[in-house]
C-alpha cells in the first residue's frame, strides 16, 4: 500500500517537500542515485531561499523528496548545511552529489543548471546540503 503525501507528513510533521532537478527525467535520475546511496549531497542557489524561508534545509530535519508528479518518493535527513560560493565548492562535496566523477564535470553540469534556473555567476552563493536517506517510500509501493 502506498503512502499519500498526507500520510508521510503525519509521520514527519516538520518536513518540507521538494523535488530534485528541474525536469521529470533529471528528477528520476537523481532519486535513483539517492536510493543507490550514491547521492548524499545537493545544492541550490541561495537566492532561491528568501530570508526566513521554511524551504531552507535545516540540520536534523527530515524532508520529503517528491517524484516529479508530486507523489512522495523518499525521506531524507539533513546532516550538514553550509553556504559556499560556486567557485569554492570542494571536490569532496561535488563528488558527494553523485552526479559526476570529477569536479570539472560537476562545475559544467551545475553551470548549465543554474543558467536554466535564474542565472549563473561563478561567485554565486549556494546552499550546500549533505543528507542521509531515512525511508524509501517507493518500497511501500512494490
pLDDT of residue 139: 67
Separation CA 109–CA 94 (nearest Å): 11
Q: What is the pLDDT of residue 142?
A: 41
Q: Is the dihedral of CA 64, 66, 72, 73 positive or negative?
A: negative
Q: What are the pLDDT digits (tens) for 89-142?
A: 999 999 999 999 999 999 999 999 999 999 999 999 999 999 999 999 986 544
pLDDT at 140: 54
Q: What is the pLDDT of residues 47-71, one digit of tens each?
A: 999 998 999 999 999 999 999 999 9
- The CATH number of 5-141, from 3.40.50.150, 1.10.274.10, 3.10.400.10, 1.10.510.10, is 3.10.400.10
pLDDT digits (tens, 9 = 90+) for 12-40: 999 999 999 999 999 999 999 999 999 99
Asked whether residue 3 carries a pLDDT value surpassing 90, the answer given is: no
DSSP string, 35-77: HTT---EEEEEGGGS-TT-TTS--TT-EEEEEPTTS-EEEEEE
Q: Write down the pLDDT at residue 138.
A: 84
**With contact defined as beta carbons under 8 Å apart, do 69 and 4 qualify?**
no
Amino acid at each position: 500500500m502506498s503512502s499519500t503525501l498526507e500520510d508521510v507528513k503525519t509521520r514527519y510533521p516538520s518536513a518540507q517537500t521538494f523535488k530534485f532537478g528541474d525536469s521529470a527525467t533529471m528528477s528520476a535520475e537523481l532519486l535513483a542515485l539517492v536510493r543507490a546511496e550514491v547521492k548524499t549531497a545537493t545544492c541550490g542557489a541561495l537566492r532561491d531561499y528568501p530570508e526566513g524561508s521554511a524551504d531552507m534545509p535545516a540540520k536534523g530535519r527530515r524532508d520529503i523528496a517528491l517524484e516529479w508528479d508530486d507523489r512522495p518518493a523518499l525521506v531524507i535527513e539533513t546532516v550538514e548545511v553550509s553556504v559556499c560560493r560556486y567557485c569554492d565548492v570542494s571536490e569532496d562535496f561535488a563528488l558527494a552529489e553523485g552526479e559526476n566523477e570529477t569536479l570539472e564535470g560537476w562545475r559544467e553540469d551545475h553551470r548549465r543548471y543554474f543558467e536554466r534556473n535564474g542565472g549563473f555567476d561563478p561567485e554565486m552563493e549556494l546552499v550546500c546540503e549533505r543528507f542521509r536517506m531515512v525511508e524509501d517510500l517507493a518500497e511501500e509501493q512494490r
